[in-house]
């Protein structure tokens, strides 16, 4: 029960304040009476699928995606445009290069798009690997993703 309550509090905190780092989130939770480690907060961020967007007061802030799996919000669309540097098809694969630390953010957006041509994705620090059945599907997905960068 403590975990669910903590998750609810984290969503509330990132929705009401600009929290840029895991350490800031730990401190905000401590103010609310939750004693947590940075490792716990790191797991919570992953489980809640939080991602970073540009802040108005700080450079970046955590945000929460509450949209259905088939859609992406304007925030997520903006995040994708901001963090993706290059999209390249390689056979039945697509390599998406991102700014350092944004591979998982781009991966979340790609997963939420739910393109039927995508078999799976693997996200790293600055790269997302997209696996498709064949090269035609990879080129189709690549075209769709490139259009997101221009929109």
Domains of the chain (ranges, CATH numbers): 2-63 (1.10.10.10), 74-150 (3.30.1360.40)
Q: Which pLDDT does position 146 carry in this prediction?
A: 93
Please check the confidence at residue 151 and state whether its pLDDT lies above 70: no
Please check the confidence at residue 148 and state whether its pLDDT lies above 50: yes
Please check the confidence at residue 115 and state whether its pLDDT lies above 50: yes
- Nearest Cα residue to 87 out of 66, 65, 109: 109
Mean pLDDT of 83-111: 95
Helix (H) or strand (E) holding 51: strand 51-54
Mean pLDDT of the chain: 88
The tokens for 98 are: 């991102």
Report the predicted TM-score, pTM, of the whole model to 2 decimal places.
0.55
Q: What is the SS3 assignment for 21?
A: coil
| Residue that has been written with the tokens 């781009």 in this structure | 106
Give CA–CA dist 94/113, Å, rounded: 15
Q: Which pLDDT does position 106 carry in this prediction?
A: 94
Q: Which pLDDT does position 63 carry in this prediction?
A: 82
The tokens for 59 are: 């450079």
For 17-120, where are the alpha helices, taking DSSP H only? 22-31, 38-48, 74-83, 103-113
Instruction: Give, as one character, the DSSP assignment of residue 8.
Output: H
Q: Which tens digits make up the pLDDT trace of 45-58?
A: 988 888 887 777 88
30 falls in which pLDDT band (50, 70, 90)? very high
Give CA–CA dist 33/108, Å, rounded: 30
């Amino acid at each position: 029960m403590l975990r669910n309550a903590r998750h609810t509090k984290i969503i509330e905190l990132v929705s009401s304040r600009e929290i840029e780092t895991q350490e800031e989130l730990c401190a905000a939770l401590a103010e609310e009476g939750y004693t947590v480690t940075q490792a716990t907060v790191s797991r919570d961020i992953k489980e809640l699928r939080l991602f970073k967007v540009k802040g108005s007061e700080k450079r970046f802030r955590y945000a929460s995606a509450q949209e259905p799996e088939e859609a992406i919000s304007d925030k997520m669309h903006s995040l994708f445009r901001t963090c993706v540097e290059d999209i390249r098809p390689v056979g039945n694969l697509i390599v998406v290069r991102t700014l350092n630390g944004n591979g998982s953010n781009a991966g979340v957006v790609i997963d939420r798009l739910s393109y039927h041509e995508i078999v799976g994705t693997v996200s790293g620090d600055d790269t997302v690997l997209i696996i498709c059945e064949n090269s035609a599907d990879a080129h189709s997905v690549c075209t769709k993703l490139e259009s997101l960068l221009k929109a």
